[in-house]
Amino acid sequence: MVYYHYAELIHRQAEKYGNRTALKYKDQASGKWLKVSWIEFAEKVRLTAEALVEFGVEIQENIGVYSQNMPQCLYTYFGIYGNRAVDVPMYATSSPAQIAYIVEDAQIHTLFVGEQLQYNNAFIVQRQLPHILKRLIIFDPSVKLNPEDKTSVYFNDFIRLGDNAHSDSKVKIRTSQALPSDVATIIYTSGTTGQSKGVVLTHANYLEAMRTHEIRIPEVTDRDLSMCFLPLTHIFERGWTCVCLMKGATVAINQDPKKIQETLQEVKPTAMSNVPRFWEKVYIGIHEKMASSSPMMQRVFNAALATGHEYILNYRNKGLKAPASLTAKFLFYDKTVFTLVKKAVGLQNGRFFPVAGAPLSDTVAEFLLSLNIPIRYGYGLSETTATVCFYPRTGYIIGSIGTIMPDLEVKIDPSNQEILVRGKTVMSGYYKRPEENKMAFTEDGFFRTGDAGRLEGNVLYFTERIKDLYKTSNGKYIAPQAIELSVSSDPYIEQVAVIGDQRKFVSALVVPNMELLKSYAAEQKIAFSSDEELLANPFIHKMMEARIEEKQRNLASFEKIKRFTLLAHPFTMESGELTDTLKLRRKVVGEHYAEAIEAMYQ
């Protein structure tokens, strides 16, 4: 297979696929799903590239994209690559301060923005940094400009600017001279442990990722329909979407993350990359549905689940032929119970669901696989162009994070069990951070992931995030992420933040599933006038204490949560308590809930 440089990928695919559908997106006015052919996609990329020339964009200049997922994002990314320039994606939820930091660090003169919120924030930054940020290009034509704005242009007007012979010729020359060593993308990390850093990825990194994914997932084809749900700023979604485009699959773009359930029902994708939190909610939702079903239905579901577990995990996954009776039972349940469950979520056509970005509990993984939901759990980082390892089609081991990607070297540092990675998908370094680059790599060129694990043959296991490790005042090390993972699999628990660094015991801030908790209160005839009053009820506290203790039964005594505080409001990105990839910012959580935390240690 030929792996095209991203400067020409869309144009080559347009030659191959012509009027076949490349992209789908929902028109917000009509509510209808519209199609973009490969030819139309390539034409928009060409016009974007030529308009950038008209704006005076130079080779390897950094161009910002601050938007939620939209077709225009993809037109812009590939238009940037056609000019041998560099795209710098920014999360749609980023604050003006976060945008200003990236604009200044990467010296961004041109910034593409999505909707009104992004425009408003970006205009604030432009007024703060007029000597750097020269112009904004707005994707959404309904955005209302600030009366003082004299430089911004709408995307539909922008792409008409360069449709001339001079710009066309310049783009063709730049595209023909594009090199694998050109910088393609600078992705700024979410900054859970400090200041955000720009991860520099070259086209060589992307080309190698495409090559190795073709080896590992030949089953993904140009007949697939992938849902683009995670932000394209996230290396996981970006890498997966590029794999789909390389394969010639159709990509359906979900613009509003809050409407994903509605979108799944409408699109019924065959593939979708997602984070464990999405699947945890699916797991909890199915259990809630079953809990309210009749005893007969519960028995049928449990029998189907047990059959799926036996057939898929004990036979199919091990390459063994199942007994005829088990096969018949599985096929029956697969066409009835499993199909009904998957239809309720919009996953009935699913063939390939990559899962990464955070730890996935073994309980949830086994449950999904037993329902014949084809998840492929894995592990990767922005610094490794996403995938380091993931479950093979068969022969995966529950509890692991998968088998290592082809031609990628992984080893474990014996001093602290850190996972070290070396290969052609590993970044060239952090942008303008020479001192941090020295610390990020070993002397023999392995990247330090910051994660601890173990390697058994070609199978990798994650144990803990090294930078997240807590040391109690008693000298014991605990891994808060592992404790949070064990506890948050309970359907009554929405979020958990474990506390314990330099403390005498482990405590936690717990955000309950308020809907379930209110149903429980109604069943138990517990009266309350507010969420806060419900959470303060001693019977509720004892019930939650029992559930937390049950989830901790396999933990050592010093690892267990001894005290906890129930919170009425979840941790959010808007409050700064979560990163854009939904990871806890522990320092911010500690600051926001300092009083509640201190109360648990009095």
> What number is the average pLDDT over the span 202-231?
96
Do residues 61 and 86 touch, judged by C-beta distance below 8 A?
yes
Q: Does residue 230 surpass a pLDDT of 90?
A: yes
Closest listed residue to residue 536, CA positions, set 579, 501, 567: 567
- Summarize pLDDT for 342-381 with one digit per residue, the tens: 999 999 999 999 999 888 989 999 999 999 999 999 999 9
For residue 438, the tally of other CB atoms under 10 A from its CB is 10
Residue 439 CA to residue 447 CA, distance in Å, equals 9
Closest listed residue to residue 484, CA positions, set 555, 532, 433, 418: 555
Do residues 367 and 287 touch, judged by C-beta distance below 8 A?
no
For residue 201, the tally of other CB atoms under 10 A from its CB is 28
- Summarize pLDDT for 517-528 with one digit per residue, the tens: 999 999 999 999
Give the per-residue pLDDT at 474: 67
Q: Does domain 469-600 have CATH number 3.30.300.30?
A: yes
pLDDT mean across residues, the chain: 93
Q: Does residue 563 surpass a pLDDT of 90?
A: yes
Residue 76 CA to residue 47 CA, distance in Å, equals 10
Do residues 508 and 497 touch, judged by C-beta distance below 8 A?
yes
Concatenating the DSSP letter of every residue in 300-333 gives: HHHHHHHHHIIIIIHTGGGTPPPPHHHHHHHHHH
Residue 72 CA to residue 70 CA, distance in Å, equals 5
- Structural element, H or E, at residue 250: strand 250-253
Give the per-residue pLDDT at 375: 97
Q: Does residue 434 surpass a pLDDT of 60?
A: yes
Residue 458 CA to residue 140 CA, distance in Å, equals 47
Residue 572 CA to residue 582 CA, distance in Å, equals 8
Q: Does residue 477 surpass a pLDDT of 80?
A: no
> What number is the average pLDDT over the span 82-90?
98
- Summarize pLDDT for 18-61 with one digit per residue, the tens: 999 999 999 988 889 999 999 999 999 999 999 999 999 999 99
- Structural element, H or E, at residue 579: none
Do residues 351 and 219 touch, judged by C-beta distance below 8 A?
yes
Give the per-residue pLDDT at 486: 84
- Among 73-82, 152-161, 222-231, 280-289, the least confident range: 280-289
Query: Where exactly are the structural domains of the chain?
Result: 9-272, 469-600
- Summarize pLDDT for 530-547 with one digit per residue, the tens: 999 999 999 999 999 999
Residue 552 CA to residue 558 CA, distance in Å, equals 11
For residue 219, the tally of other CB atoms under 10 A from its CB is 11
pTM, two decimal places = 0.86
Q: To 10 degrees, what angle do helices 295-308 and 324-333 make? A: 130
Give the per-residue pLDDT at 578: 87
Give the per-residue pLDDT at 29: 84
- Among 168-177, 180-189, 329-338, 465-474, the least confident range: 465-474
91 Cβ partners below 8 Å, 6+ apart?
Answer: 98, 231, 233, 580
Helix, strand, or coil (residue 249): coil
Q: Does residue 266 surpass a pLDDT of 90?
A: yes
Residue 354 CA to residue 534 CA, distance in Å, equals 38
Q: Does residue 471 surpass a pLDDT of 80?
A: no
Secondary structure letter of residue 274 according to DSSP? B
Give the per-residue pLDDT at 465: 81
What secondary structure, in 3-state letters, does 420-487 show?
EEECCCCCCEECCCHHHHHHHECCCCCEEEEEEEEEECCEEEEEEEHHHCEECCCCCEECHHHHHHHH
For residue 458, the tally of other CB atoms under 10 A from its CB is 12
Instruction: List own/partner pairs for 429-434 with CB under 8 A and 24 or more apart.
Output: 429/200, 430/197, 430/198, 430/199, 430/200, 431/105, 431/106, 431/186, 431/197, 431/198, 431/199, 431/200, 432/105, 432/198, 433/197, 433/198
User: Strand 418-422 relative to strand 429-430: parallel, antiparallel, unpaired?
Assistant: unpaired
Strands (E) in 150-216, as ranges, are 153-154, 183-188, 198-202
Residue 556 CA to residue 562 CA, distance in Å, equals 12
- Residue 329, Cα to own-chain centre: how many angstroms? 36
147 Cβ partners below 8 Å, 6+ apart?
Answer: none
- Among 104-108, 386-390, 478-482, the least confident range: 478-482
Sign of the CA dihedral running 468, 472, 475, 481: negative
Residue 13 CA to residue 28 CA, distance in Å, equals 28
Q: Does residue 580 surpass a pLDDT of 80?
A: no
Please tell me which residue, 303 or 98, carries the higher pLDDT value. 303
Please tell me which residue, 557 or 165, carries the higher pLDDT value. 165
Q: To 10 degrees, what angle do helices 295-308 and 276-291 make? A: 140
CATH classification number, 9-272, choose in 3.50.50.60, 3.40.50.12780, 3.40.50.970, 3.40.800.10: 3.40.50.12780
Query: pLDDT band for position 500 (50/70/90)?
Result: confident
Give the per-residue pLDDT at 191: 59
Give the per-residue pLDDT at 488: 87
Give the per-residue pLDDT at 541: 94
What proportion of the chain, given as a percentage, has pLDDT over 90?
82
- Among 85-89, 101-105, 559-563, the least confident range: 559-563
| Amino acid (one-letter) located at 558 | F
| Amino acid (one-letter) located at 93 | T
Give the per-residue pLDDT at 398: 97
The pair of structure tokens assigned to 161 is 């600017």
